[in-house]
A and B are shown apart, each in its own frame.
Chain A
Amino acid sequence: MKFSKRFKSILPVIGLAALYGLIMLLKSMGIANNYHIQILMFAGVNIMMTLSLNVVNGFTGQFSIGHAGFMSLGAYGSAIITTLILKPSVIPASMEIPVFLLSLLVGGLVAAMVGYLIGLPTLKLKGDYLAIVTLAFGEIVRAGLRLIEPIGAARGMIGVPNYANLAWIFLFVALTLFFVRNIIYSRFGRAWIAIRDNEIAAEAMGIDSTRYKIISFTFSAFIAGVAGGLYAHVVSFIQPDTFSFVKSSDLLVFLYAGGSGSLTGSIVGALLLTSLPEALRFLASWRLVIYALVLVIVMLYSPKGITGGYELPFLRITRKDIYENRGKKISETPLQETKEGDV
């Protein structure tokens, strides 16, 4: 009992480590090259971004279509720390990691704070109106960044130290999954899902919808900010126009094509759709045509996304887990497996 409980919780960690080992092995054998690794890192950042969007759109049922704005705040926030405030040349090697982590935290906090501040007045807006405000927010941030000369204005920032390697990306994706899963299966996640499924009933059942929407928005913005910080330290070069509406709509595509309201869906969507355009490069200018067609066909024929609402076992917490975690059996209550994802 005890052992199996332990095993279940470390299994994903072992799996992830094995995957990382495999990639490194492929790299040392010359099968995977730096280009592949680079794409994998982008995919990791995109997974985090998609999870972040999933919290707001998939679980809370709100429409953010300007999430690139939070990503850019995180990217700039953290890059300013490692590039402008502390110059890479003066940071001693031993301090690189703490500085890097601190910068990610700052990036996340900046994004979260802005998320909180814009959420406060706007989350009362309904559906599409909220969507358009988030779009406006994203574009205002982008145009605003283009105006600030010390951070390179429209030219952007170059020379951001490339601290983020594949191992860091793996770690942060895993942490994000862990945190998002935990929160979804808590009071907070349940409140979000209640608001998503029926806001009037949620309110009538004592759920302060504005408050929980703001929590959702702020949490989501924090993840997006950290992801943005990682991104900056992968590419070494950030520019306001990288975080345009095109970026936001890419993220929406990852989310809904993968399957919104499912963590597995976010992983699959971001991973697949980040690598698909790369894999299609041989098609030259027809590449995005095919990509667009694939997207429309997925939306038309698979409304729940590619994963169809499936959730990997370690990305959900069932009632059985709740009991087994405490070493208890639930003999007196029958347990059926919920077929579709239960969120």
Chain B
Amino acid sequence: MTTFFQLLIYGLQLGSVYALLALGYTMVYGIVGMINFAHGDFLMIGALSTVFLAMAFMNTSSAALSAIQVITIILIAMIGTGLIGVLVEAIAYKPLRDRPRMTALITAVGVSMFLQNFPRALPFIGPNPRPFPRLFPLVQLNLGGVTITSTQLIMLGLSIILMVILYFIVNKTPLGAQMRAVSMDKDAALLMGININVIISLTFFIGAALASSSGIFYASIYPQVDVYMGSWLGTKSFIAAVLGGIGDIRGAMLGGFILGISEIFATSINSNLGYMIGFIVLILILLFKPAGLLGKFSIEKV
């Protein structure tokens, strides 16, 4: 039983990483209708930039990082990555909006290659993994044999806060209403005077910023960062978004946690099985619910 709870905690922790990353996939899909295959790389950018920011802060203060410094670092990393997301959209995706979806998908593959290989080629970054700094104090709590670390608590807490904020923005603010309008019907949104470009840029900003936070959280558990880490985490989170029902924010969160938890449990049996389980769960869910758990198909008007 303790093993079960211990695994569940690991599952929740991994699930929160997937959920945060899946949100970006689902938002971009919901609003622009494209699969942004470069989305996972925003996670890497978030983690990598945190490494360098922490180095810079450590140089100045030389001691361990203070809470204020950690918060500053996280915010800078999130905002910076968000802006990179906006830039990527403006340069590479915007011109493709009216083209076949595959064109945008392939472009995204190219963008992803660029985002991975550009830092890799830079002499001060390079291909080698580097250690991730400790951002959160290390305290271990023992609850009847189940260990919970402060990092896990902080991470889970922060990701839940971020998701609640996002949910609030999308569902309760005028901005969110505009986002929902664009995702339902672009032409109608345009007629209502909504600036679609701004909404799309904002979507990319939020998605990339959330990806950045998930990168920081992920690296806090597995403290190693390299330029390729975003690609397979991205694939997993994309799966999470689809199995939850792509385009639906609650679906992305749900999918993220389902994937994280099932992966941890399967890995405890066999690591290859752990890798496979997400894909198997996905196929099974799609066979019975072709639009994902919370997704809905409408009958196409003919």
Partner-B contacts on A (CB < 8 A): 57, 63, 65, 121-122, 124-129, 131-133, 135-137, 139-140, 143-144, 146-147, 154, 200, 245, 249, 252-253, 256-257, 260, 284-286, 288-289, 291-293, 295-296, 299-300, 303
Contacts and interface: CB of A to CB of B under 8 A. Distances in A.
B231 to A, nearest CB: 8
A303 B99 contact: yes
In the complex, which of the residues B106, B246, B272 has the most CB atoms of chain A within 10 Å of its own CB atom? B106
Contact of B279 (A126, A140, A284): A140
Contact of B113 (A57, A63, A291): A291
10 contacts: A135-B235, A136-B239, A140-B280, A200-B300, A245-B235, A256-B103, A288-B113, A292-B110, A293-B110, A295-B113
B148 to A, nearest CB: 30
A285 B102 CA distance: 28
A272 to B, nearest CB: 15
B286 A133 contact: yes
A256 B272 contact: no
A138 to B, nearest CB: 9
B275 interface: yes
Contact of B96 (A124, A128, A299): A299
Contacts of A291: 113
B168 interface: no
Contacts of B92: 296, 300
A334 B96 CA distance: 38
Interface stretch (B47-55, B72-80, B116-124, B150-158): B116-124
Interface string B81-112: 00000000000100110011111011101110
B110 A295 contact: yes
A203 B118 CA distance: 47
B115 to A, nearest CB: 8
B302 interface: yes
Interface of B: 29, 35, 37, 92, 95-96, 99-103, 105-107, 109-111, 113-114, 116-118, 120-121, 126-127, 235, 238-239, 242, 246, 270, 272-273, 275-276, 278-280, 282-283, 286-287, 290-291, 297, 300, 302
Given A245-B235, A299-B96, A300-B95, A125 B113 contact: no
B106 A285 contact: no
A105 B96 CA distance: 41
Contacts of A129: 242, 286, 290-291
Nearest to B279: A136
A15 to B, nearest CB: 30
Given A139-B276, A253-B110, A295-B106, A147 B270 contact: yes
A287 to B, nearest CB: 8
B35 A257 contact: no
A231 B121 CA distance: 30
Contacts, number: 124
Contacts of B37: 249
A293 B107 CA distance: 10
Contacts of A289: 114, 117-118, 121
A292 B101 contact: no
Given A256-B102, A285-B121, A285-B127, A293 B114 contact: yes
Given A140-B279, A299-B110, A300-B107, A292 B117 contact: yes
A298 to B, nearest CB: 8
Contact of B276 (A126, A135, A140, A296): A140
A296 B107 contact: yes
A192 B275 CA distance: 35
Contacts of B291: 129
A88 to B, nearest CB: 29
Nearest 6 Cβ contacts at the A-B interface: A136-B279, A292-B113, A295-B110, A292-B114, A288-B117, A296-B110
Given A136-B279, A139-B279, A285-B121, A125 B286 contact: yes
Contact of B111 (A256, A286, A292, A303): A292
A296 B290 contact: no
A268 to B, nearest CB: 15
Contact of A63 (B102, B246, B273, B297): B102
Contacts of B96: 299-300
Nearest to B34: A128
Given A129-B242, A143-B276, A299-B103, A285 B111 contact: no
Nearest to A146: B272
A284 to B, nearest CB: 8
A132 B242 contact: yes
A109 B190 CA distance: 52
Nearest to B243: A132
A296 B111 contact: yes
Given A125-B290, A288-B117, 20 more contacts: A121-B287, A128-B35, A132-B242, A135-B235, A137-B283, A139-B275, A140-B276, A252-B109, A253-B110, A285-B121, A286-B121, A292-B114, A293-B114, A295-B106, A295-B107, A295-B110, A296-B107, A299-B106, A300-B107, A303-B100
A136 B120 contact: no
Given A140-B280, A292-B111, A257 B106 contact: yes
A127 B300 CA distance: 14
A57 B102 CA distance: 9
B262 to A, nearest CB: 14
A295 B290 CA distance: 33
Contacts of B95: 300
A294 B258 CA distance: 38
B281 to A, nearest CB: 9
Nearest to B100: A303
